[in-house]
Structure 1
Amino acid sequence: MPSQLTTPIVDILDRALNGQDISPDDGIALLSQPTAAARETIRAAADQLRQQQVGDTVTYVINRNINYTNICEQHCSFCAFRRDEGQPGAYWLNWENILEKATAAVETGATEICMQGGLNPTAKVNDRSLDHYQQLVTTIKDKFPQLHIHAFSPQEVQFIAREDGLTFATVIRELAQAGVGSLPGTAAEVLDDRVRRVLCPEKIDATTWVEIVTTAHELGMPTTSTMLSGHIETIEQQIGHFETLRQLQQRSLSQGETGISEFILLPFVGQDAPAPLRKRVGRDQPVIADALLLTAVARIYLGRWIKNHQPSWVKLGLDGATEALRWGCNDIGGTLMEEHITSMAGAQGGTCQSVADLTGAIATLNRPSQQRDTLYNLISANY
């Protein structure tokens, strides 16, 4: 390690490179480094850990994102996507729309459909929310049984359970029976209730998010994990989020469960976010340097337990996401085909990438690329 770094930082990185878990205080120390030299050394350590843990190949998935409605009962302070029913811009896709989008995805070679949307209390079939969500899935799976359905965040699971008077376990079992293959680990934002009371006061609290994800793992349903970063949270709260995820994953894996398949950092985009939070944060687009440092520390903190790390090209742009592959990420995400939640907040990364776009970006780093499925099984030849 360079001599200008303090001994504690050298020790933290050496322990991480030797396969040890670093402590919350260690993580805070890494995120507190202001100098370019220190950040470069942290980057190099994260990149080395990525190579040790998952190798040099950068993976990607051919998928389609379907945001089936933006009608939502909640009012998160960062969300520019939600609408009230009847408000200009509100929409609710019908079954034909859903099937058309899935058909177009299959025609491009997609292996995954990702579905998330607003919490719409009027979206019911047979007077049940669960039946509506199941029909979202079966509309696709009945025609395209080969597609993996990656759908419905812990918040949506809680919403269904509340609306229908069901347990979380019952909702997850029934969604799996309909054809859901994995749950997105979104709605996590920052797993600290002091932050959540400002960002998303109507959402589930951190304990409930952990409970639902843990229940999914107990039932054999894999999940992903995320963090919305770069708004009002402190570095202590960022590390607290990582610690919560690490403990959750350690418990799931110790029980022989599937656990969390990936971690995705989601930097805050505020350009078209509601004015109060936008004013408080004081900027419209992510600070790339801060996002990259947090990406590196995520690899150092979580990588032994959650090995797959993915940037958001929607939020960072493809160039920023490609750079994140040098800061500990091993996956560049999916083609998406469309994306509304982040793009409506003013993100400048676009809403669709072709396979050629993704593999071309990876090639600039002189690293091989390979297609994967949702659960990181490799399914095509190297490029």
Structure 2
Amino acid sequence: MVDVLSNDLIELGKEANRIKEEKWGKKVFFVKNIHLNYTNICLNKCKFCAFAKDEGDDDSYSMDLSEIVKYIGDKGEDAKEIHIVGGLHPHHSFEYYLDMVKAIKENFPEKAVKAFSAVEIDYFSKISDLPVNEVLKRLKKAGLDMMPGGGAEIFASAVRRQICPEKISGERWLEVMEIAHKEGIKSNATMLYGHLESMDDILDHLEKLRDLQDKTGGFVAFIPLSFHPENTFLNHMKPATGVEDLRIIALSRIVLDNIPHIKAYWVMLGEKTAQVALKFGADDLDGTIVKENITHSAGAKSKEGLTLEELVYLIKSANLIPVERDSFYNEIRSY
């Protein structure tokens, strides 16, 4: 195997692409999905976040259940998946989140609900005085199908204390995910890079994910997230370059040999870099993603959603096969 720390980006990419094609051939997956960021009011003050607001800020918001149902009906008629994450609201009870999932499932039973990061689940446990496994059981009964992978950021404690000191630890994130997997809830996993982390921190993060995957098999996909510094407390930093983005994608595919899918998250990478990443180990472009607010708050220049036709064009013009999927990678249609 090529040295994962090799300075030769092309060789790294070739190895990652070889592994990807052994698993999936020329297929590239995507899903019709809608993002629901139900509130930007958050108790945590992560330095890398441009989305979170204090209650009472002019641009703060929190959606009630009727607004959530209307939003999905208006924006996500064709969506197969509803991706839900939000801030840690200081006044919502756990019942609010249960009622949210129930209302969505009652109104849109055909759509998969992929909701609440490990950070949110830990918070629900605190405000409900219930253990994490009971929180997850109740959410699953309400209609939760899957969990997103957010909140992992970088596991290295020294860096984590600098960028998100109020967030749960990396160890706690892994613990919550292990419990979710044991409860039969599949999830994604993420890593935020391009801020204060070192290459050793990146490798440590990937190895911890690989170890948990060996234990539970519950991760469906891994999404490397390229940090956007604009409008954050770290706005003095420069964003990752395209070369760095491609290196991390390739490295992820090589190290995480036991996680089936690697996503090129076009919202953070931009459409063109995400397309090139399909030759560097990524096999998934995520989806239509209507409408993501968190990254765009930090200055992302990508579109606020792609059409099915645009996704198909990106994939086909890379000489690859577009495959529409559901949340669990069951294939719906090839284009």
TM-score normalized by the length of structure 1: 0.86
Q: Deviations over 1:40-95 (max 9, x none)?
A: 01101110110001221111000100000000011000011011011110001122
Please give the per-residue CA displacement for 1:177-212, whole angstroms capped at 9, x wherever unaligned: 110101111100011111110111111101111110
Q: Residue 342 of structure 1: SS of its match in structure 2?
A: helix
The aligned amino acid for 1:220 is G
Query: Structure 1 counterpart of 2:16, which letter?
Result: A
Q: Which of 271, 294, 317 is matched with 1:364 structurally?
A: 317
Which of 302, 319, 337 matches 2:272? 319
| 1:173 is aligned to 2:143 | no
Per the TM alignment, residue 286 of structure 1 is displaced from its structure 2 partner at its CA by: 2.8
| Pairing of 1:73-84 with structure 2 (within 5 A) | 73-84=43-54
Shift of 1:350: 2.0
1:54–1:307 CA contact under 8 A, matched in 2: no
Residue 351 in 1 paired to residue 304 in 2?
A: yes
Aligned pairs for 1:189-228 within 5 A? 189-228=153-192
Aligned to 2:235: 278
Identity in percent? 34
Distance in 1 separating the partners of 2:332 and 2:204: 35
Mapped pair 1:112 → 2:81? yes
String of CA shifts for 1:112-150, please: whole Å, max 9, x gaps: 001100000212xxxxx2211111111111111111000
1:375 partner amino acid: F
Report the equivalent of 1:300. Answer: 254
Q: 2:76–2:290: 8 Å Cα contact kept in structure 1?
A: no
In structure 1, what residue type is equivalent to 2:65?
W
Task: Answer yes or no: is the 8 Å Cα contact 1:154–1:186 preserved in 2.
Answer: yes
SS in 2 for 1:30: coil
Establish whether residue 267 from structure 1 lines up as the match of residue 221 from structure 2.
no
- Can you give the 5+ residue segments of structure 2 that lack an aligned partner in the other structure? none
Q: Aligned partners of 1:233, 1:119: CA distance in 2, in Å? A: 25
CA contact (8 A) 2:41 2:60 kept: yes
Shift of 1:237: 0.4
2:41 matched residue in structure 1: 71
1:151 aligns with 2:115: yes
Contact between 2:31 and 2:324, CA under 8 Å: does it hold in 1?
Answer: yes
Q: What pairs up with 1:10-21 in 2 under 5 angstroms?
A: 12-13=1-2
Distance across 2 between alignment mates of 1:106 and 1:278:
33
Q: Which residue of 2 aligns with 1:42?
A: 12
Aligned counterpart, 1:18: none
Instruction: For residue 106 of structure 1, report the CA deviation from its aligned partner.
Output: 4.5
Q: 2:94 aligns with which of 130, 134, 146?
A: 130
Structure 1: tracts of 5 or more residues without a match: 1-11, 14-28, 124-128, 254-258
Counterpart of 1:100 in structure 2 is 70
Paired residues of 1:265 and 1:311 also in contact (CA < 8 A): yes
Cα distance in 2 for residues equivalent to 1:60 and 1:302: 20
Per the alignment, residue 262 of structure 2 pairs with: 309
Moved over 3 A (4+): none
1:278 partner letter: N
* Number of residue-to-residue matches in the alignment: 335
